[in-house]
Amino acid sequence: MKRYSNEHEWAILDGEVASIGLSAYAVDQLGDITFVELPEIGTTGSKDDSIAFIESVKAASDIYTPLSGEVVEVNEDLEDTPELLNEAAETTWIFKLKVSNASEFETLMDEASYKAYIETL
């Protein structure tokens, strides 16, 4: 099951580990992605903390973690090929979190709610 935050991150929870990515809508708004500053493994963050950074040809933006937890894995492919996000935003995870409060996942939007949400923007 995939859920979305107001800041356009998506999360897929598998046991206690969540994969985090950016929505296709957000990536489309940013344009061609040129750089992703990945968090360090071991970084801990609370829900909505800025823990990564993304640059495109026209903007630079924070990536907020949609769930609280500790970073256990980062997608190193993005260091050299950030354009993977333009190709497949919805299936390219950026980092994985060991979540500290799984119930936060339930507070995120499901796909239908997120779709309705971006139509209001």
Among 48, 55, 70, 73, binds other proteins (CB under 8 A): 55
Beta strands 17-22 and 9-14: pairing type? antiparallel
The verdict on 35 binding other proteins (CB under 8 A) reads yes
The residues, ordered by sequence, that sit 6+ positions from 31 with a Cβ below 8 Å of its Cβ are 56, 57, 58, 59
Asked if 81 interacts with other proteins (CB under 8 A), we say no
Residue 34 in the binding site for other proteins (CB under 8 A): yes
DSSP state of 100: S
Please identify, using beta-carbon distances, which residue of 46 and 91 lies nearer to other proteins: 46
Q: Please list, residue by residue across 93-106, b when 16 or more beta carbons sit within 10 angstroms of its beta carbon and e when fewer do.
A: bbbbbebeeeebbe
Nearer to other proteins, 54 or 109 (CB): 54
For residues 105 and 39, what is the distance between their CA atoms, to the nearest angstrom? Answer: 20
Segment lying near other proteins (by CB under 8 A), choices 6-14, 21-29, 35-43, 108-116: 35-43
- CB closer to other proteins, 34 vs 100: 34
Strand partners, 12: 2, 19
Letter for the amino acid at 72? V
| Contact with other proteins (CB under 8 A) among 60, 83, 87, 101 | 60
Per CB under 8 A, residues contacting other proteins are 34-35, 37, 40, 53, 55-56, 59-60, 62
